[in-house]
């Protein structure tokens, strides 16, 4: 039996999948915002801190994101120390990936880059961009499997019902102060 993901990820050195899982919305948001502004490219993520001793359950992971457009991708990847044979393959990926359902990610900590091509994502980059501000969904009672976008839509309607807004008189003014 292996220990919980948040423990074995940091001990084995393979922390990237857990980081990606926990930060998928901002990664996808950066990818789609970059694509719609600059065209094809990749997301560069630098994770800071000592990941070997990080308690993934309690500590905040500090990181920075930037979108690197296609025109600057080769220079960026060379600066990251990627060998020429890998660089050629990565540039081909930057030119052919599907921005509406894939994400190219260079993730590094302490100068050790790892390239990830996330394909056919459950939450596609456009959905991350559109719904980055809504972090929750309503999956029913009892919970059942459903599409993330539908769960977000249902969540809004359930919040209206739970808050009693559906029982207010027509024309009532409501101030939505958001969640932050």
**C-alpha dist (Å) from residue 46 to 49, 88, 134:** 10, 22, 25
Whether 173 maps to a domain, the answer reads no
Whether the per-residue pLDDT at 168 is higher than 90: the answer is no
| Same structural domain, 112 and 143 | no
pLDDT tens profile 59-101: 778 899 999 999 999 999 999 988 888 888 899 999 999 999 9
**Does the N-terminal peptide bond of residue 142 adopt cis geometry, omega within 30 degrees of 0?**
yes
Label residue 171 by pLDDT band (50, 70, 90).
confident
**What integer pLDDT is reported at residue 3 of this predicted model?**
38
82, 149: one domain: no
Q: Judge if 33 and 85 occupy the same domain.
A: yes
51 in a domain, yes or no? yes
Q: Which domain holds residue 149?
A: 133-167
State pTM to two decimals.
Answer: 0.67
178 pLDDT higher than 80 = no
What confidence category does residue 131 fall into, taking pLDDT thresholds of 50, 70 and 90? low
| Strand order from edge to edge, sheet including 62-69 | 62-69, 41-48, 103-109, 112-118
Contact 77, 87 (CB under 8 A): yes
Kindly indicate the confidence band of residue 7, based on its pLDDT and cuts at 50, 70 and 90.
Answer: very low
Note whether 17 and 105 are same-domain residues: yes
> Which of 98, 126, 154 lies at the terminal end of a domain, its last residue?
126
Q: Is residue 91 part of a domain?
A: yes
User: How many beta carbons lie within 10 A of that of residue 124, not counting itself?
Assistant: 21
| pLDDT, position 136 | 76
> Alpha-carbon distance 80 to 106, whole Å?
9
Are 138 and 106 in a shared domain? no
Question: What pLDDT, on a 0 to 100 scale, did the predictor assign at position 133?
Answer: 57
Whether 110 and 144 map to the same domain: the answer is no
CA dist., res. 127 & res. 176, Å (int): 22
- Output the average pLDDT for the chain: 81
149 domain residue, yes or no: yes
Residue 157 counted as domain residue:
yes
Q: Are residues 120 and 146 in the same domain?
A: no
């Amino acid at each position: 039996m292996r220990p919980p993901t948040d423990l074995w990820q940091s001990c084995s050195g393979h922390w990237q999948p857990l980081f990606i899982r926990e930060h998928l919305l901002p990664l996808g948001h950066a990818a789609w915002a970059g694509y719609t502004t600059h065209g094809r490219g990749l997301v560069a993520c630098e994770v800071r801190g000592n990941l070997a001793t990080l308690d993934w359950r309690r500590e905040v992971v500090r990181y920075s994101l930037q979108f690197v457009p296609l025109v600057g991708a080769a220079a960026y990847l060379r600066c990251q120390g990627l060998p020429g044979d890998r660089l050629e393959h990565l540039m081909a990926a930057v030119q052919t990936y599907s921005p509406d359902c894939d994400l190219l990610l260079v993730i590094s900590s302490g100068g050790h880059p790892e390239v990830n091509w996330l394909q056919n994502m459950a939450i596609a980059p456009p959905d991350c961009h559109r719904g980055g501000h809504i972090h929750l969904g309503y999956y029913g009672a009892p919970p059942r499997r459903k599409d993330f976008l539908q769960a977000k839509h249902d969540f809004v309607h359930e919040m209206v019902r739970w808050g009693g807004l559906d029982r207010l008189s027509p024309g009532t003014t409501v101030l939505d102060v958001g969640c932050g």
